[in-house]
Amino acid sequence: NAGVTQTPKFQVLKTGQSMTLQCAQDMNHNSMYWYRQDPGMGLRLIYYSASEGTTDKGEVPNGYNVSRLNKREFSLRLESAAPSQTSVYFCASTRTGGSYEQYFGPGTRLTVT
């Protein structure tokens, strides 16, 4: 039981390049989330998927797109990376009908130069 996995762990991009961050969970959770973490700013929600087939914007969605590929997988895409997107990205999931605690992946450290 791996929980929430994320790939890659580290990535360096040049401005304007694109990439997709992958996230998968094996806990049969319905809801999945993408956050970014910047020093002194806590966690900010980028996008979430309350259930398979649905996605919604969070607090800071600009410059990102998401795909809920199936119940297990939720990917985050940067179409044209900018230095302001340098951050640590976390994927999380939660069980519908539970007490809302979220389970986190290990994170992806992204640097955009």
Applying CB under 8 A, the residues found at the interface with another protein are 4, 31, 33, 40-43, 45, 48, 50, 56, 90, 92, 94, 96, 99-107
Length of the chain counted residue by residue: 113
Residue 46's closest CA among 12, 76, 8? 76
Q: Residue 18 or residue 51: which is nearer to another protein going by CB?
A: 51
Return the C-alpha torsion angle 100, 101, 106, 110, nearest 10: 50
For residue 39, what are its two tokens? Answer: 């020093």
Q: Residue 32 or residue 81: which is nearer to another protein going by CB?
A: 32
Cβ-proximal residues to 39 (8 Å cutoff; 6+ apart), any chain? none
What is the smallest separation between the CB atom of 99 and another protein, expressed in angstroms? 4
What is the smallest separation between the CB atom of 15 and another protein, expressed in angstroms? 25
Q: Residue 17 or residue 103: which is nearer to another protein going by CB?
A: 103
Q: Residue 19 or residue 45: which is nearer to another protein going by CB?
A: 45
What is the smallest separation between the CB atom of 16 and another protein, expressed in angstroms? 28
Q: Three-state SS for 83?
A: helix
DSSP structure string for 14-40: -TT--EEEEEEE-S--SEEEEEEE-TT
What is the smallest separation between the CB atom of 59 and another protein, expressed in angstroms? 10
